[in-house]
A = this chain, B = another copy of it.
Amino acid sequence: MLKNFTKRKKEDKEALSAEIKALRAELMGQQQKLMSAKLPVIVLIEGWAAAGKGSLIKELISEIDPRFYRVESPVVQHESEERYPFLYPYFKAIPVNGKITFLDSGWMENVVRKYLRHEITKDEYRRRLRQVYEFERQLRDSGYLILKIFLHIDKDEQFDRLRSLAEAPETEWRVTEEDLWQHREYKNFRETYDEFMRKTNDTVQWHILDGSRRKTAVRDAMNLLVSEINFGLDSGKYKGKPFEEEFPLKKMPKLSEVDLSLSIDDEEYKAELKRLQTRLSELHNIIYRKKIPVILCYEGWDAAGKGGNIRRVAYPLDPRGFDVHPIASPLPHESNRQYLWRFWTRLPKTGHICIFDRTWYGRVMVERLEGFCIENDWKRAYNEINEFERMLTDWGAVVLKFWIHIDKDTQLARFTERQNTPEKQWKITDEDWRNREKWDQYETAIDEMLQKTSTKNAPWYIIESNDKKYARIRTLKIIVKALEKACEDHFKQIMD
């Protein structure tokens, strides 16, 4: 892509200014329409050091009302300093519906730089290319307009710019070691940028602008932005179609086939609980030191015993190293972003454990059944979620998913008990009764979910919870075993 790049010709300055002025006026007029259409826009500006990314953004935003945009410039940290998946800062930065996020460097710079620094392997580099592709597709499919611009200058131009910055005392500090290193490695960078762009050009196209012609670049960038927005306004929010990629799946039984008579006696329960909690506490120390992130996902019928189960798992953990995230209906700033955003922003740091009390699977259960999203959305979600979880396990996380299961009679008994016990009444709401009426529809949705998303890397476990104590022991056993394995694998990995 950079190979075939041809420099722009010089244009008449005044004509350019007039064009820019007209485009700016159009952009101003678009702001309000974007809000009405609830279209979110991401403008990614990548490019060479000293190519003028900052100045370009300055021109793009100069007439936009600050209520409508944000500029983000996530720093590329060294791999060893990162505590989150590499896409974390970019996913965090996505705008709410109707607003624009400008990114001054983004996921491309991040991946390319780490690769050229030899902080990530060739394999990991390829994995990240795929993750970037998935990231862009998921956002596009849920209606984000994405504009990707690369600001190009050749090696001589970069040399001149870096020199003039370095030679003036007031700008000298702006030339960093990283910039100089890029300049020395110009050829390597060019090849890698090129490869990156070629491989991420299908879903969302790249636009390469000539950074050596500042004004032309501003006009062109503004032109792209205005057209992109007009296109979005005309064609309406993009609604991605469902698709099916093959993930290695674990075979799951249907809910109706599960043996719910399993139980445990009190004495064994007490002994096992103590043993497993002690072991889990030890393992928490190890995973903390080894910096393994752990994500435990709880879903289940109302009154199945999720809360009590979670408390037994959380009790032996060091409170400094874990979080429980109860997931209720999304707040406005959450529902106005892609649905995975509120989970991305709650991911644990490496070495930490987080427990989700309800999860992103709401998409294919309550959102599906209550019509909170359209059919395309929940049908696409199986794959999106598998991708999301693969990204988590590729990152090194242990991901375990529990469906806490009871039968309809047991639920009724527990609802009735809650109803009749004053201090438990708050736990039972009309909504619980309404959901109960839809038991069969939910069962169909859950069976489908279990079949389609129990991947080898992030499997589902159906936990028989008619006997809550049995369920707690079973969950603890699964967690302990998975963490033991993770610690062992981690050791092997280091030894390799």
Do the beta carbons of A326 and B67 come within 8 Å of each other?
yes
Give the contacts of A214-232 with B (CB-CB under 8 A): none
- Complex: A58 Cα to B312 Cα, angstroms: 12
Q: Which residues of B contact A67 (CB under 8 A)?
A: 326, 328, 357
Residue of B54, B282, B325 near A170 (CB, 8 A) is B282
Q: Which residues of B contact A333 (CB under 8 A)?
A: 331, 333
Do the beta carbons of B170 and A285 come within 8 Å of each other?
yes
Kindly state whether residue A376 has any CB partner on chain B within 8 Å. no
Closest 6 CB pairs of A and B: A66-B324, A67-B326, A71-B319, A73-B320, A32-B426, A57-B319
Given contacts A102-B319, A285-B171, A331-B333, contact A311 B54 (CB under 8 A): no
- Complex: A41 Cα to B21 Cα, angstroms: 54
Do the beta carbons of B289 and A173 come within 8 Å of each other?
yes
Among A58, A102, A173, A319, max chain B CB count under 10 A is at A319
Kindly state whether residue A63 has any CB partner on chain B within 8 Å. yes
A binding-site residues for B, Cβ under 8 Å: 28-29, 32, 35, 54, 57-58, 61-63, 65-67, 70-71, 73, 102, 104, 170-171, 173-174, 282, 285-286, 289, 307, 310-311, 314-315, 317-320, 323-326, 328, 331-333, 355, 357, 423, 426
Name the distance in Å between A29's Cβ and chain B's nearest Cβ: 5
Do the beta carbons of A54 and B289 come within 8 Å of each other?
no
> Please, which residue of chain B has its CB at the minimum distance from the CB of A30?
B423
- Complex: A319 Cα to B55 Cα, angstroms: 8
Q: Which residues of B contact A317 (CB under 8 A)?
A: 58
Name the distance in Å between A106's Cβ and chain B's nearest Cβ: 13
A-B contact pairs, 29 of them (CB 8 A): A28-B423, A32-B423, A35-B426, A54-B318, A54-B319, A58-B315, A58-B317, A61-B314, A62-B311, A62-B315, A65-B307, A65-B326, A66-B307, A66-B355, A66-B357, A67-B326, A67-B328, A71-B319, A73-B319, A73-B320, A102-B319, A170-B282, A170-B286, A171-B285, A174-B285, A331-B331, A331-B332, A331-B333, A333-B333
8 new A-B contacts, CB < 8 A, other than A171-B285, A331-B332, are: A28-B423, A54-B320, A62-B314, A66-B326, A104-B320, A170-B285, A174-B285, A331-B333
> Please, which residue of chain B has its CB at the minimum distance from the CB of A334?
B333
- Complex: A317 Cα to B54 Cα, angstroms: 10
